[in-house]
Amino acid sequence: MSEDGHDFHRWVDPAGRAAPHGVHTVTTSEADRAAIAQWLNVPSVLALSAELAIERVGAGEASASGTIKAEVELICGVSLDPFIQAFTIPVTAIFRRTPTHPQPKPDSISSAPEVDIDAEEPREWTQSGIDVGALVVEEISLALPDFPRKPGAELPAGLTDPADEPPPNPFAVLKGLTGKS
C-alpha cells in the first residue's frame, strides 16, 4: 500500500497542453473495488464511480467538483447481517501546486498571514497532476457510517440499547461502604 493507505490513483494534469477542462469520469475495475474494500475494511464495494468537473482556478490552483456514486456492502452492527448501502456524495476540492521556490518566512508575527481554521486545506498538485482517485476514495471513507445499521434492524426483545440506559453513578459503591468499619 502507498503512504496514504490506498493504491487507487487517477491522475489529471490541469496544466497540460490539452488542459482537461470539463467533466471527467472516474471508473473502477473489479480489482480496484476489491482493493478499496480492503482499505475501507468493508466486505465489498459493488460499484464506485465519479463525475468530476476539473477547472483551472489560477496559475497554481485547480478545482474539482462533482458527484461520487457508490454501492458498498456493510455489516449491520445490530444484527450482524450484511446489507448494501448506496451513497451519492457531492464533492468539492481545491488543489494547489507546491511552490518550486521556498516562500520567505515572515519577519514577525504581525506580518504572518491569517489562517481560516474553517477553510479546507488544499490538496497537493504534484508533477503528476492532481489525484482525483485519492479524492474519491477518501470521500467514500468519510461517508461510511461509524455504526452501520441495516434498515429495520432492531435489538432482540429483552435487550436494551446501551445509549438508553443512564450511566452508572460512580458514588453508588461508596454509599454501601458508609457505616462499615
| Cα–Cα distance, 114 to 87 (Å, whole number) | 36
Q: How many residues does the chain have?
A: 181
| DSSP-assigned beta bridge partners for residue 45 | 72
Q: Where are the beta strands (DSSP E) in 7-113?
A: 11-12, 22-26, 44-58, 61-75, 82-97
| Stated pTM of the model | 0.70
C-alpha cell belonging to residue 83: 446489507
| Cα–Cα distance, 29 to 34 (Å, whole number) | 9
Question: pLDDT tens for residues 97-149?
Answer: 876 655 555 555 555 566 656 556 777 787 778 889 999 999 999 999 999 98
Question: pLDDT tens for residues 142-155?
Answer: 999 999 989 888 87
